[in-house]
Structure 1
Amino acid sequence: MKRLVPASARCVLVCCVVSLFLQSGLSADGLPDGYPASQRRKVVLTPHWKFHRGDPDANFYGNEFDDSEWEEVSVPHTLKLTDVNLDGCDDSKFQETFHRTVGWYRRVIEVSENPTKVFLEFEGAHQVTDLWVNGEHVGQHAIGGYTPFHFDITSYVSAGENQIALRVDNRKRDDTPPDPGPYDYVKFSGLYRDVYLVETGGLRVTFAWEDFYAGVSVTTPAVDPLNGNATIAVRTTVRNESEGRKDCRVLTRVVDSDGVVVMRLADMQSIPPGEDRTFNQCGGIDEDLHLWSCDDPYLYRVNTTVWDGDTVIDCVENPLGVRSLALSKEHGVLLNGEPVDLFGSNRHQHYAFIGDAMPNSLHYKDVLQLKQKGMNIIRTAHYPQDDALLDACDRLGVLVYEEAPTWIAIGNDAWFDNLERAARRMVRNHRNHPSVIIWGAGINHRGAVPRLHYAIKQEDPTRWTASNNSAWTGEQNSGVCDLFTNMDYRGVDDWTGEEYLLAMEGKLTPESIALYGGDPLRLGLIHWTAHAYYTFHPTNKSENRMRSGMMDGFRNMALPEDESYGEPVAMRIDVDMEGRELTADGNDIVLAYTRFVDKDGKLVPGPDVDVRYVVHGPAEIVGEGEIEGANPAPVSRGAAPVLIRAGLSAGEIHVTAECEGFETVKATLTSVPFNPDCIETRARAIYDLRRLHVDMGGEGQLVQFGWQSWIGESNQPAAFEADFLGGVRATLKPASDEGITRWLGEMNVKGRDGFVMGEGVCVIDPEGFALELSGLAVGRYELTTFHHAPVSNTNSMDPNRERLKTLKIHQIPVASVVNVTTKTGSTKVTVSTGKQVPDEGPGIAVVAFEVEDSSPVEFRFQDADGERGVWLNGFILRQAR
């Protein structure tokens, strides 16, 4: 939230061209300006996997095994592509046979010369994963297929090439939710989310899901949208993997969207070998706070740097969106103090042909489409979803209701143990995303589950929990949860009206929008569903097992049914590249659609035909020659879709669409090179620019907390020195020998920065006065000066009441407009006055300037309309980019 200052009170004098959007240079290690180089290495293992489906008991993990005949694939990957009819499988909702097999994946990884620790990190895999490294079994992950996990492979690898083998087992297990079923969606298979090789030094930030105290947890215990300040608490757990005790320093910096550090916290602890220590840090932002909202999804970054002495050992980043969230019986949901109705859609991660194995770009595109349709919330039905989806929601301003993997079934004790583990991992993994506002704490249809609610609240007491009811199968109240979330297809007749209701499923009709938008206890309605999803539930068309959906499984929206359409006379091809790139990693996918237009160029539903595609260049058509409907593609909902997958080399790709009776159409796109280094690709510049806050006043002044005090004596030479970037000296003097300076001590003024504005120096001189800064290093700076003429706001309880009466400084006639002049120009600032700082803020002048040599920099202040006193209460000196 920006400081509120009217144009008449805030002036900007630009003494040089200072842009906050200069393109960042790269350091020698390939990182942007100011981003710390550490011993952490993170590489995404997308291409160059060898794959075999089936044979669960085979010895495919030995180093001597020859996998040259196996298929080469990229990850994310599904065990088998499927057509829209699920390959004709007639399973029930228990999914007895479909994809109920294993996939074997083999790959060579390259380990650096001297990492202290080496890990393989998985965002998710369906659903039980075993790992072998260089022929040795490392371990098994069996919590489920929708949450992250990792293996420590340090003792199994050596520098150079190492062979890894994975068995990803999707066979039914009674202890692994959402199995044993039934469920209304298909649980696909494979290594369907990203995999990373992670190396660290002897001190490392732990993985967030390792433990209750693990990773980095960022919360905002207090957010004040009205006054523009926020308290930020950061909890960081560091493990000492070295052989000896380490004195570890953790530096936490909050970085704004321009890369400028706005909060800095540092702490040190001694960590014995093999042990963890948690650093609890708390600070805040009280200047130029920018809130995160659906309309303005402003993101800060929390950069965490771990030091061993003078050496940076580890560095990680997390998102921070500062927002307040509350429930009001009068207004419903309040986001940053403003009412917001929640209208959105449920979302399955299914995609036509590829099932769950969506590249990150398609997750982003899903959120972008829903945002463009005016939606502001997504429910992740019915399981935790990809990190890329949460990243997209943060960036685009879409709220999230995320839940653990269930549907209707209630399992045994082991099943509940894994459900709780999955819920805890979901929270730990996504707790720092500002888009998440609700955790599902129930079993879908069955209602609230106290065990889930208490586990989630223990992990994250800052967000709401939801009960996941349905009118025909579940307990009909919110139970222990914060919100009563029910399915509203025919109205919620059993709702008491004494709790907050959110329709987690239903239809977005004009009637339902009016109902949920007009009752503050009805928080909103989440449409079922955003896209058609794969299911063994009965569907409208026997040949298509993709059910429901505002859009089909290719993310295509049907044309309105009530339009006088013309006859199709031509084709048009569209490649959906809006808001994205196509990365040449062997996995990234872009959708192309061929649509039909009439003689006036208007889109029409199109004929009942197939469209054949031809691709030239470093790309291929997904499923071509393998599954029905991939190519040629039938027209559905007015479009013939095709999935185009990038190859491993970047370049120009030409797409041609052909259909008998129509002229051929073409499109061209270009893929970009793939960089597997996650730190290089995600790092952005950090400008750790120093600030000096100076509060000016006479003896006994009330100094603003966190500011340095400059105490002056009336009509005496005034100077101030501070250890700012090696030292700076400020001097203040009237412009003539006739000048008078009056330094005011303690005065009470109400409002933001009231201690600064309550006192200061008033100079009466026909020619004004000068503020001179000397000793500054060469570079760019910004000086902000504050101009408020205070009036006593004291009362009988004030110990200095009598002294304040005798000073009478507040009775001096003062300038209402002040000229601010430097050697390169001048401008004006309107002075605020009174016992209270105005809501819009005091008079402020902002001067950007550049120091090119050792010469002092002078700023002159003068009454613009005469010879009255000129007030200066304090200033902020900042480095600038």
Structure 2
Amino acid sequence: MRLAIIVILFLLPGAFTYSQSPGKAGLETRQRININRDWKFLHGDYPEARQLSYDDEKWNLVHLPHNFSIPYFQSTRWYTGYGWYRRHVHITEQWKNKRVSLEFEGAFREAEIFVNGQPAGSHNGGYTGFSIDITHLLTAGDNVIAVRLNNRWNARLAPRNGDHNFTGGIYRDVYLVVTNNVHVDWYGTYITTPGLSKDGGRVAIETEVSNQNKHSGVYTLKTDIVDANGKLVTSVSARQSIAATTSVVFKQLTPEVKKPRLWHPSNPYLYKAITTIWDNQKLLDSYETSFGFRWVRWTADSGFFLNGEHYYFKGANAHQDQAGWASAVTNGAIVRDVKMIKDCGMDFIRGSHYPHDPAFSAACDSLGMLLWQENDFWGSGGDQKETDNWYSGAGAFPSNKEDQPYFEESVKTNLREMIRIHRNHPSIIVWSMCNEPFFTGWGTIGRIREFLKELTTLTHQLDPSRMVAIGGCQRGEIDKTGDIAGYNGDGARLFLNPGIPSVVTEYGSTIAIRPGKYTAGWGDMTSQQDSIFPWRSGQALWCAFDYGTRASGDFGLMGMIDYFRVPKNQWYWYRNEYKHIAPPEAVKNGVPAKLQLAVDKNTINGTNGTDDVLLTVTVTDKTGRPISNSPDVTLEIVSGPGEFPTGTTIRFASNSDIYIRDGKAAITFRSYYGGKTVVKAVSEGLVADSVVIETLGTPRFVSGSTPNTTERPYVRYTIEKKTVDDRSVNIAYPKPTRASSEATGKTANLANDKDIRSCWQPNISDTASWWQVDLENVYVITEVRLQFPLQEKFDCTVDISADNQNWHAIAKPRNPFPADGKLVVPVSNATPARFLRVSFRNDPNNQVKLAEVEVFGKTADD
């Protein structure tokens, strides 16, 4: 039988009833109903699935958030194509005169929405939400919502490339929103605090109100500002006429609020604006917006200021995905992620490299984390050519002129949506336009510079209260196209005191398999002390968590916390440095005897997929002391509801993508039915352990009646790759460089800039000079070409390394040198490497010069 779902009208977080007087108590004006549960899904393209009568009995029962590739464990390849979702909803007669909208918080990335077989709307862009009014398509009784979604590469949509995975799916929450015809529009409030000081300030509110009646009307908009305890602080009202089927913006300015509690990472205090719309004495809508009183200032000479005081922030970059579930993480998991970064003493997150979930911004608000929110205009290494897939390394900006206007509009649309959705969050201190867009096709960097200036102007128009950053701007002369420069990698040392406000937006990039080394991994910053210049605003480690990526080998293992959310030793280093909490004693090899199973909490709050539990299993000896032995361990649901990404069981092994390392494994568990679940950890020959997790809410789990959890055995996804000429792409351009020293005006980056007229040159006092490039992926190098100035001859060796610590030679060029100064060095050693170094035997009579280095190869998993 076709699955039919009755939508139960209960208020969820974010939905509420607001009463202006005792006589109005309990009057429902707006309902925001989570519909994450009970969808049907199937990979592939099924155009007839839009119809109400379509038979989806054999489709998979799934719950949101959902990803095409679940279970996913950092594969460099993933399913690309179409997927269809279907859900039945029951519409009551009580909604006859109401407006009903569908709100998606994120669907990657080309979505077409159908209601009862009719097109309802579409959305292109995987990282921003959207709202579609479906009132005119609904009927009383059974209705079907169908979503046709694809995650295919598209030359005209952002992003075109990036060091991440681009798995598809409805991976964020979905809501039905029911309002009266006159209501606040989707994310329709914009709140600022102009002229704020410690003594006081006013609240400016712009509220977009829609009148979907067939007649005009005069309506009153009232905004109450309340503190965290619900106490009224101030209030303001306005009255305005709204024509039929139009929207207007009410502009309000409250009286001064005396000595408000200022939002700060050490005191993340939040207020609420409660907006109500009245037709005389009739309440039509009520809408809440959280915000904070705080002001920021960025300077070129003195760095960043928060609430009038200098503030140097320290943090990390964060991707959204995690083990098993890929991008489809719950709001509870998002809060846990933000808290893990906070718990090591950091106070800043760069939301790399796309707009994050609204729950992410809210978590930063409530936990006290400064947030760099970034649009998804993104580049990465590769051949920078037009392609038809995610894996070939297309340029950040289209090379084909016919694609460029569409792409630019895609970036601007994403920018508008990002700002509208996130603009009221006090944690957000800047809007970033991009990440490393200088990785682009030949001849497009000039247009990128102009485009970034256009995006900066547009952002100032959309939100004059925040400055604009250019993220990853260390190449291409793009750092001054915005207000703030974000330098990645070697930009930390190439752009010292650049004359504009600046941040080290990425440093470190330390590949480490847990537990890893007890070290900060400063990379090009050398040390924290060396990085805190008076003009620099802050710094962000690359990165907080391991992530899935199209890059090869271990390139996604750069987090201070692993993909399963277990800290590495690097996380403990930062916690000790910033919070002075000593690291735990390193575990050692022992005799395995028992398992210990722990949870971050024992309760899942609700059955709608917005919360989960992190399970951690530890191997111990007979005394209960943790040890580093890593035998195979299985977690299984003994009784009750719930699921792992793989179904009712998940097996960890040291040689698996689902790994146990250093005697510890972890995974998140979620449930869509109320009741108690018993989870057991077992390993052959060891004493088992179990925990009880209770899921609150309805429907309740009934053994033998509740649908069985789908078993999803893990198989690493692979595709047949096209053969690529590994000598066609110079993988050293324009990657981060380092050198033993640099003469004035002869910096290391001049040796991989595709310009043989420029060159790197060490200081004259450098007696052991070397030049190095980070290829930013793991490659099997097949050829190296060294270009020296004409008639110059130098004795040098070429070495490679996977970790920037252990080096071995691949070649030693010999004289005689070619007349054109170019040495071609074939490489027969097939050892994967990320770093390449050219070392010189210095001659005091012939100072070293290196004009250009070209490196050719293929990714290690080809």
- TM-score with structure 2 length normalisation? 0.68
1:523 aligns with 2:537: yes
Instruction: State the SS of the aligned residue for 1:603.
Output: coil
The correspondence for 2:616, drawn from 585, 593, 615, is: 593
Q: CA deviation at 1:572?
A: 4.8
Q: CA deviation at 1:443?
A: 4.4
1:121 aligns with 2:121: no
Q: CA deviation at 1:599?
A: 6.3
1:605 aligns with 2:595: no
The correspondence for 2:70, drawn from 58, 72, 81, is: 81
1:557 aligns with 2:567: yes
Instruction: State the SS of the aligned residue for 2:325.
Output: coil
Counterpart in the other structure of 2:172: 193
> What is the CA–CA distance in structure 1 between the aligned matches of 2:651 and 2:677, rounded to whole Å?
24
Residues 637, 312 of structure 1: alpha-carbon distance in 2 compared, 3 angstrom cutoff: farther
Counterpart in the other structure of 2:229: 258
> What is the CA–CA distance in structure 2 between the aligned matches of 1:553 and 1:673, rounded to whole Å?
29
1:216 aligns with 2:226: no
Q: What one-letter code is carried by the residue in structure 2 that aligns with 1:534?
A: G
Q: What one-letter code is carried by the residue in structure 1 that aligns with 2:482?
A: C
Whether the aligned pair in 1 keeps the contact of 2:603 and 2:694 (CA below 8 Å) is: no
Residues 161, 512 of structure 1: alpha-carbon distance in 2 compared, 3 angstrom cutoff: farther
Counterpart in the other structure of 2:121: 139
Whether the aligned pair in 2 keeps the contact of 1:243 and 1:273 (CA below 8 Å) is: yes
Counterpart in the other structure of 2:693: 669
Listed as ranges, the gaps of 5+ residues in structure 2 are 1-15, 380-395, 399-403, 439-447, 509-519, 573-584, 701-862
The correspondence for 1:207, drawn from 186, 199, 211, is: 186
> What is the CA–CA distance in structure 2 between the aligned matches of 1:120 and 1:337, rounded to whole Å?
42
Greater RCO (Cα-Cα under 8 Å, separation 6 or more): 1
Q: CA deviation at 1:578?
A: 4.7
The correspondence for 2:309, drawn from 335, 338, 361, is: 338
Whether the aligned pair in 2 keeps the contact of 1:615 and 1:621 (CA below 8 Å) is: no
> What is the CA–CA distance in structure 2 between the aligned matches of 1:643 and 1:469, rounded to whole Å?
32
Counterpart in the other structure of 2:455: 452
> What is the CA–CA distance in structure 2 between the aligned matches of 1:410 and 1:307, rounded to whole Å?
48
Counterpart in the other structure of 1:514: 528
Q: What one-letter code is carried by the residue in structure 2 that aligns with 1:99?
A: T
Counterpart in the other structure of 1:298: 269
Counterpart in the other structure of 1:164: 145
Q: CA deviation at 1:569?
A: 4.2
Instruction: State the SS of the aligned residue for 1:66.
Output: coil
Counterpart in the other structure of 2:53: 64
Counterpart in the other structure of 2:711: none
Whether the aligned pair in 2 keeps the contact of 1:612 and 1:632 (CA below 8 Å) is: no
Whether the aligned pair in 2 keeps the contact of 1:192 and 1:357 (CA below 8 Å) is: yes
Whether the aligned pair in 2 keeps the contact of 1:351 and 1:358 (CA below 8 Å) is: yes
> What is the CA–CA distance in structure 1 between the aligned matches of 2:296 and 2:600, rounded to whole Å?
34
The correspondence for 2:298, drawn from 320, 327, 337, is: 327
- Give the structure with the higher percent strand: 1
Counterpart in the other structure of 1:99: 80
> What is the CA–CA distance in structure 2 between the aligned matches of 1:366 and 1:571, rounded to whole Å?
29
Residues 284, 157 of structure 1: alpha-carbon distance in 2 compared, 3 angstrom cutoff: same
Q: CA deviation at 1:108?
A: 2.4
Counterpart in the other structure of 1:765: none
> What is the CA–CA distance in structure 1 between the aligned matches of 2:640 and 2:19, rounded to whole Å?
32
Counterpart in the other structure of 2:664: 639
Q: CA deviation at 1:57?
A: 4.7
Listed as ranges, the gaps of 5+ residues in structure 1 are 1-28, 92-96, 209-214, 677-881
Q: What one-letter code is carried by the residue in structure 1 that aligns with 2:687?
A: E
> What is the CA–CA distance in structure 2 between the aligned matches of 1:331 and 1:479, rounded to whole Å?
18
Residues 579, 668 of structure 1: alpha-carbon distance in 2 compared, 3 angstrom cutoff: closer
Residues 499, 578 of structure 1: alpha-carbon distance in 2 compared, 3 angstrom cutoff: farther
Deviation string for 1:233-255 (max 9, x for gaps)? 00111111112221100000111
Q: What one-letter code is carried by the residue in structure 1 that aligns with 2:192?
A: T
Q: CA deviation at 1:196?
A: 1.0
Q: CA deviation at 1:194?
A: 0.9
Residues 309, 675 of structure 1: alpha-carbon distance in 2 compared, 3 angstrom cutoff: farther
Q: What one-letter code is carried by the residue in structure 1 that aligns with 2:501?
A: Y
> What is the CA–CA distance in structure 2 between the aligned matches of 1:378 and 1:325, rounded to whole Å?
16
Q: What one-letter code is carried by the residue in structure 1 that aligns with 2:284?
A: I
1:501 aligns with 2:502: yes
> What is the CA–CA distance in structure 1 between the aligned matches of 2:290 and 2:84, rounded to whole Å?
34
Residues 580, 480 of structure 1: alpha-carbon distance in 2 compared, 3 angstrom cutoff: farther
Counterpart in the other structure of 2:471: 468
Q: What one-letter code is carried by the residue in structure 1 that aligns with 2:560?
A: M
Whether the aligned pair in 1 keeps the contact of 2:233 and 2:257 (CA below 8 Å) is: no
Q: What one-letter code is carried by the residue in structure 2 that aligns with 1:640?
A: A
> What is the CA–CA distance in structure 1 between the aligned matches of 2:473 and 2:622, rounded to whole Å?
49
Q: What one-letter code is carried by the residue in structure 2 that aligns with 1:533?
A: Y
Deviation string for 1:460-480 (max 9, x for gaps)? 111121112354xx2346313
Instruction: State the SS of the aligned residue for 1:60.
Output: helix
Which is higher, the Rg of structure 1 or of structure 2? 1
Alignment of 1:358-373 (within 5 A): 358-373=329-344
- TM-score with structure 1 length normalisation? 0.66
Instruction: State the SS of the aligned residue for 1:534.
Output: coil
Instruction: State the SS of the aligned residue for 2:47.
Output: coil
1:410 aligns with 2:389: no
Instruction: State the SS of the aligned residue for 2:225.
Output: strand
Whether the aligned pair in 2 keeps the contact of 1:60 and 1:165 (CA below 8 Å) is: yes
Q: What one-letter code is carried by the residue in structure 2 that aligns with 1:107?
A: H
Whether the aligned pair in 2 keeps the contact of 1:439 and 1:463 (CA below 8 Å) is: yes
Alignment of 1:9-88 (within 5 A): 37-54=27-44, 56-86=45-75
> What is the CA–CA distance in structure 1 between the aligned matches of 2:553 and 2:102, rounded to whole Å?
40
Counterpart in the other structure of 2:801: none
Q: CA deviation at 1:517?
A: 6.1
Instruction: State the SS of the aligned residue for 1:221.
Output: coil
RMSD: 2.9
Counterpart in the other structure of 2:792: none
> What is the CA–CA distance in structure 2 between the aligned matches of 1:332 and 1:490, rounded to whole Å?
17
Q: CA deviation at 1:563?
A: 3.8
Whether the aligned pair in 1 keeps the contact of 2:71 and 2:645 (CA below 8 Å) is: no
Alignment of 1:687-698 (within 5 A): none
- Count of residue correspondences: 622
Q: What one-letter code is carried by the residue in structure 2 that aligns with 1:374?
A: G
1:317 aligns with 2:288: yes
Residues 384, 260 of structure 1: alpha-carbon distance in 2 compared, 3 angstrom cutoff: same
Q: CA deviation at 1:512?
A: 5.0
Aligned sequence identity (%): 28
